[in-house]
Amino acid sequence: MTQTQETYFHHIVLKGDPYQIGRAQGEAIKNIPGFIDFMRSGTGRFSTEQFQKIADEMERFSPGINEEISGMADAIGIDARELIYYSFTWLQQGHCSHFVLLPSRTEEGRTLVGRSYEFGLKTEDLRLVTLQSAGKYAFMGSSVLFFGLTEGMNEHGLVVTMSAGGWPVGPTREMRPPLRDGFQFWFVVRTVLETCRTVDEAVRLIMEIPTCGNPNFLVADKAGRAALVEVFGGNKAVKLIDATSKDQYLCSTNHFTLPEMTPYRDPVWKNSQVRYDAIHAQLGRTQKVGKEAIRSLLSQKYPQGLACHYYDQGFGTLRSMIFDPQALEVEMCFGSPVGGSWHKLDLNSPGASYAANLQMERMPEDFMATKW
Please state the pTM of the whole predicted model. Answer: 0.93
Same-domain pairing of 68 and 103: no
Question: Within the chain, which residues score under 70 in pLDDT?
Answer: 1, 42-45, 90-94, 172, 174, 372
Instruction: Count other C-beta atoms under 10 Å from residue 371's C-beta.
Output: 7
Give the CA distances from residue 159 to residues 29, 57, 154, in Å, rounded to whole numbers and listed in that order: 28, 24, 7
Q: Which amino acid is at 312?
A: D
Structurally, how many domains does the chain consist of? Answer: 2
Looking at residue 258, its pLDDT comes to 98
**Parent domain of 254:** 92-351
| Residue 203, in any domain of the structure | yes
In a domain, 368, yes or no: no
> Can you give the pLDDT at residue 94?
57
Same domain, 70 and 177: no
Domain assignment present for 48: yes
139 and 166 in a single domain? The answer is: yes
> Is 102 in the same domain as 78?
no
> Are 67 and 128 contained in the same domain?
no
Residue 53 shares a structural domain with residue 175 = no
Q: Are residues 114 and 197 in the same domain?
A: yes
Q: Which of 21, 35, 28, 31 is nearest to 71 (CA)?
A: 21
- Assess if residue 359 is contained within a domain: no
Which residues are CB-contacts of 74 (< 8 A; sequence separation ≥ 6)? 22, 23, 26, 80
Q: What is the pLDDT of residues 194-212, one digit of tens each?
A: 999 999 999 999 999 999 9
pLDDT of residue 45: 63
Backbone dihedral angles phi then psi of residue 112, each to the nearest 5 degrees: -130, 140
The CATH number linked to 212 is: 3.60.60.10
What pLDDT does residue 136 have?
Answer: 97
Residue 308 lies in a domain: yes
Query: What is the per-residue pLDDT for 207?
Result: 98
d(CA 14, CA 246): 41
